[in-house]
Amino acid sequence: VTTFFGGLFGLCPAAALFGGEILFLGACLTRYVSLGSISGAVAAYAILIPLTILNGFPVEYLVYALVGAIFIIVVHRDNISRLMAGTERRIGERVNL
């Protein structure tokens, strides 16, 4: 996720910062880092759609964000399963060893 946002920051800082804000807010409000990561990647892609259409940003930026968002979702499929089952650990939750 960090690599995706770092690469996106090099291409389009506004989209990376927007996605990073969504990631941060999502993780803080829900206390699920995985949900924040997925939301941030999708938000970065979503904000690039109007930037590409209205402001003439290169379509390659949009493709990068789409591929990155899909990759992040695929990599987080176990987390998504745990979120749906209600067993995903939250930030600050104690772990029984």
**Does 95 have pLDDT greater than 90?**
no
Give the amino acid at 29: L
Alpha carbon distance 22, 16 (integer Å): 10
pLDDT tens string 24-60: 999 999 999 999 999 999 999 999 999 999 999 999 9
Q: What is the pTM of this model?
A: 0.89
User: What is the number of structural domains in the chain?
Assistant: 1
In a domain? residue 91: no
Q: Is the predicted pLDDT of residue 84 greater than 90, yes or no?
A: yes
**Does 92 map to a domain?**
no
pLDDT band, residue 20 (cuts 50/70/90)? very high
Residue 14, C-beta contacts closer than 8 angstroms, at least 6 positions apart = 47, 51
Q: What is the CA radius of gyration of the chain?
A: 14
What tens digit of pLDDT does each residue of 61-74 get?
A: 999 999 999 999 99
User: 90: Cβ–Cβ under 8 A, 6 or more apart, which residues?
Assistant: 30, 31, 32
Domain containing 64 equals: 2-85
